[in-house]
Each structure stands twice: as structure tokens, then as C-alpha cells.
């Protein structure tokens, strides 16, 4: 029996047919873990004997995409997972059975993709798709366990953003075009993604609050849920409200989509947005940035104004504060100012301490009058005790 404690819990840890099995025992005692291991050994041996060999990756991938991904994932996730399998994973590992894919195979795959020039984050994305696929195979009883995958270390992502003065220059250049003025003002002042901007409807805009409700997103012409299926409400600034009112009054639609195509339908060509932004940036004399960089600019401007990262996380709709922390470096100037203030405080403390010590030293060495008059001079001759006594005084012996 191999019942032991692992991370503070009793687990059944053993090897079966060359594969390591480690499961947390439902009964958290040593005997409970031993009994659970015996049950697992019998159950896994029976299932392996009855189910036969596991399917090849290429065969299971079709079933996984059809029965799991197509049903549960957004269109953007479906396209990404299908593309990763078709272009990268299946040409290398597609002929292998699921139970024959080992950690060594995955390390070799990682090394091959690194040699081809793919970024570490991209390779980690491939491994994440494969891990999700194999976990599904475990749930369906076609695989005993998922092999360990070693992901690569990813450096912090870099991004570009418009400084506040640059953002004002862009909005000034866009003002003659009400549609693009409204869209890019909302992007800079509310931090919406491109797909969320294209999926906005007038009923989502609350001019009284004022705020905008982000409920949906557009991806390749298909309207779906927002990233992570998280709805959020973002307050609007006065200039964003004014830009939306101006767009609505000067030819924009009164209902339906806020930023539709020429026929009034949802915009299915996001390239038009990219081209409009590139043209306005050139007119303003600014460098080229992406539409998504306007969202980065929104978050960076908030950081410059010392807004809490937790608040920024809610406004952006991030699932994890780790994603929001990428903007923390924007406040480097504030950190320098804080350290400078600390240095000033330390210098003041040093000056005060030095002055206090000087005063104490002066008080200790100078002659100060006593309560009953001047301090008498010490006698140069010692008394019979061997100690010097004050002149005119007695030794104190009785």
C-alpha cells in the first residue's frame, strides 16, 4: 500500500501499468487512504481491460471539438483551439494514442516549437489546449491520467499606450468625424475592447447615469458574450457622453447598434476600425498604435492618477488582478517621488538627531547654576575616604 500525506492531505499514490496514479482520499485517515487505493486499483484495472486501447489524438480531437468545444466555447475560442490542433499539435502528435503521449514527447514538442521561433507564451497556449483535451479524455474514461507538462517562463508582456497629451491630440483630430470621434473617445475613456465597441447598442448607453453596460462582443462578424462571459458597467466621462450625443445627432442611428456598418447592421469588418485609427493617428502626427492600445491607455491614465489596481481591474473586466498588474510600472514616476519624499524625511530626522546630540553634549559640559546657587568648585585634596570633596564641605562621616 502507498497511502501517504501529500500537501497536508492523505492520498493514494501508486503506479499502475507504468503510470503514476495519485488521488486524494475521501476519508482523510491512513486506513481510509489505503482502502481507497485498493478500490482505485480494482476500478482502473477493470476499466482498462474493458475499454481497450485509448484513441489516437487525431481521432479524439475531432470528437472533442464537436462534442465539447462547439457546445461550450465562444466562437473565438473555437477558432483558436481548432487552429492550434490543425496547424501545430496534430502534425507532430496526431498519430500517437492518448495513453502513449509522455512528458518526454511534450518536452520534445516544446523544444521543436522554440527552434521554429515561436514565442514562449504561444507554446504555452498549445500545451494548455492539449491539457484541456486530455482532461476531457480522463473525464470520459478514455485516459487514466494527464502527463506532466512543463510550461515555459514568459517575460512580462510589453504594450504601447498614448500619453494623456497624445490622447488629446488624437481626439482633436477625430472631432470632425462624429462616428470615429465617439468610438475612440469611449475607447480611451471607458477602456472597451474593439469587439465590445462594435457590439454596443443604444440601450446599453445610459445618458442619465452616465454609464455604459458592456454585455456582448463581436468576433469575426459573430455576436457573442464578452471575454470570460463577464458583464460590467463602466461610468462615462463628460466628453464621452458629448461625443456619443454628437454622433447620434449628426447622422448616427437612433436605435440598434451604436457603431454599425453602412447598412445599419453589426460591423463585420473590424479592419475598417483599424484603418480609421491609423488615418487619424497620422493626421495627429502620432506613432501607429493598435485599437487595443487605446484600452491600455485608459488603464495607464488611471494608474497615473493613483487609482487602485482593484478598481482598474473591475473597470477593465479582468478575471485576475495579475493581468491588471502589468500597468503598475506606469507609476514609476510616482514611486520615484515617494522614495524622494522618504529620503527628505530621513534627512530631516538626521538633522534633528544631530542637533539634539549637540545640545545634550553642550549641556553636559557647560556649568549651569544649581538650585541653591553656583555649583561649588571641587577640592584638589582628597578626604580620608580617598574621594575629592567640595571645598568647605565635610566628608559626611559621623
For 216, which DSSP code?
A: E
Quote the pTM value. 0.65
Give the pLDDT confidence of 37-89 residue by residue, as tens digits.
787 777 666 555 445 678 999 999 999 999 999 988 888 899 999 999 999 99
pLDDT tens readout for residues 377-397: 555 555 555 555 555 555 554
Active-site residue, 227 included: yes
Q: Kindly name the residue from 227, 248, 296, 301 that is annotated as catalytic.
A: 227
Instruction: Please name the residue that has the C-alpha cell 498614448.
Output: 162
> Which residue in the list 41, 245, 292, 326 is annotated as catalytic?
292
3-state secondary structure of 218: strand
Q: Which of 36, 109, 219, 327 is catalytic?
A: 327
Read off the pLDDT of residues 6-47 as tens digits, 9 standing for 90 and up: 777 888 877 776 677 777 887 788 878 888 778 777 766 655
How far is the C-alpha of 207 from the C-alpha of 293, rounded, in Å? 26
- List alpha helices for the chain, DSSP H: 30-51, 57-64, 70-72, 75-84, 90-93, 103-115, 120-139, 164-174, 178-190, 194-198, 238-249, 271-283, 291-304, 309-316, 321-324, 332-365
Question: Which triple of cell numbers denotes residue 289?
Answer: 498604435
d(CA 236, CA 194): 17
Of the residues 216, 232, 295, 296, which is catalytic? 295
Structural domains in the chain, CATH included, are 3-51 (no CATH), 57-139 (1.10.150), 164-331 (1.10.443.10)
- Select which of 193, 194, 216, 301 is catalytic: 193
Residue 20: name the closest of 39, 40, 5, 50 by CA.
Answer: 40
295 assigned to active site: yes
Task: Copy the grid coordinates of residue 351.
Answer: 538633522
Closest CA relative to residue 235, chosen from 256, 262, 214: 214
**Residue appearing with cell numbers 449628426:** 250
Q: One digit per residue, pLDDT tens: the chain, 398 residues?
A: 577 777 778 888 777 766 777 778 877 888 788 887 787 777 666 555 445 678 999 999 999 999 999 988 888 899 999 999 999 999 999 999 999 999 999 999 999 999 999 999 999 999 999 999 999 998 888 998 999 999 999 887 788 999 999 999 999 999 999 999 999 999 999 999 999 999 999 999 999 999 999 999 998 888 888 888 889 999 999 999 999 999 999 876 778 899 999 888 889 888 999 999 999 999 999 999 999 999 999 999 999 998 999 999 999 999 899 889 888 877 765 666 667 767 766 666 656 566 565 555 555 555 454 444 555 555 555 555 555 555 555 555 44
Q: What is the 3-state secondary structure (H, E, C) of 110-170?
A: HHHHHHCCCCHHHHHHHHHHHHHHHHHHHHCCCCCCCCCCCCCCCCCCCCCCCCHHHHHHH
Q: Are 225 and 327 in contact (CB under 8 A)?
A: no
How far is Cα 373 from Cα 359, in angstroms, rounded to an integer? 23
The CB density around residue 129, as the number of other CB atoms within 10 Å, is 22
Q: Cα(337)–Cα(217) distance, rounded to whole angstroms?
A: 40
d(CA 8, CA 368): 70
The pLDDT of residue 333 is: 58
* Catalytic residue check, 193: yes
Name the catalytic one among 179, 216, 248, 318: 318
Whole-angstrom distance, CA of residue 60 vs CA of residue 56 = 6
Amino acid at each position: 500500500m502507498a497511502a501517504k500525506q501529500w500537501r497536508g492531505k492523505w492520498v493514494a499514490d501508486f503506479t499502475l501499468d507504468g503510470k503514476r496514479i495519485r488521488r486524494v482520499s475521501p476519508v482523510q485517515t491512513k486506513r481510509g487512504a489505503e482502502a481507497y487505493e485498493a478500490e482505485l486499483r480494482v476500478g482502473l484495472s477493470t476499466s482498462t481491460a474493458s475499454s481497450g486501447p485509448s484513441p489516437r489524438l487525431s481521432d479524439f480531437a475531432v470528437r472533442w471539438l464537436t462534442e465539447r468545444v462547439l457546445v461550450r466555447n465562444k466562437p473565438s475560442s473555437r477558432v483558436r483551439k481548432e487552429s492550434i490542433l490543425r496547424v501545430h499539435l496534430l502534425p507532430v502528435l496526431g498519430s500517437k494514442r492518448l495513453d502513449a503521449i509522455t512528458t518526454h514527447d511534450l518536452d520534445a514538442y516544446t523544444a521543436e516549437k522554440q527552434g521554429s521561433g515561436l514565442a514562449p507564451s504561444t507554446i504555452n497556449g498549445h500545451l494548455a489546449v492539449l491539457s484541456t483535451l486530455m482532461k476531457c479524455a480522463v473525464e470520459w474514461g478514455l485516459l487514466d491520467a494527464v502527463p506532466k507538462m512543463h510550461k515555459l517562463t514568459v517575460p512580462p508582456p510589453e504594450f504601447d499606450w498614448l500619453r494623456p497629451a497624445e490622447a488629446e491630440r488624437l481626439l482633436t483630430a477625430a472631432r470632425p468625424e462624429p462616428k470615429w470621434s465617439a468610438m475612440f473617445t469611449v475607447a480611451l475613456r471607458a477602456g472597451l475592447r474593439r469587439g465590445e465597441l462594435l457590439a454596443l447598442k443604444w440601450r446599453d448607453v445610459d445618458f442619465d447615469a452616465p454609464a455604459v453596460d458592456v454585455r456582448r462582443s463581436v468576433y469575426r462578424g459573430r455576436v457573442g458574450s464578452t471575454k470570460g462571459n463577464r458583464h460590467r458597467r463602466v461610468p462615462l466621462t463628460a466628453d464621452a457622453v458629448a461625443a456619443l450625443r454628437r454622433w447620434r445627432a449628426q447622422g448616427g442611428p437612433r436605435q440598434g447598434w451604436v457603431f454599425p456598418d453602412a447598412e445599419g447592421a453589426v460591423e463585420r469588418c473590424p479592419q475598417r476600425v483599424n484603418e480609421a485609427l491609423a488615418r487619424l493617428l497620422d493626421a495627429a502626427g502620432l506613432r501607429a498604435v493598435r485599437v487595443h492600445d487605446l484600452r491600455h491607455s485608459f488603464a495607464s491614465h488611471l494608474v497615473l492618477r493613483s487609482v487602485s489596481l482593484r478598481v482598474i481591474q473591475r473597470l477593465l473586466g479582468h478575471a485576475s488582478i495579475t493581468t491588471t498588474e502589468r500597468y503598475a510600472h506606469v507609476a514609476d514616476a510616482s514611486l520615484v517621488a515617494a522614495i524622494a519624499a522618504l529620503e527628505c524625511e530621513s534627512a530631516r530626522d538626521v538633522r534633528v538627531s544631530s542637533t539634539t546630540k549637540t545640545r545634550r553634549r553642550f549641556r553636559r559640559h557647560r556649568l549651569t547654576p544649581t538650585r541653591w546657587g553656583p555649583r561649588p568648585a571641587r577640592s584638589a585634596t582628597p578626604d580620608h575616604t580617598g574621594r575629592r570633596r567640595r571645598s568647605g564641605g565635610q566628608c559626611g562621616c559621623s
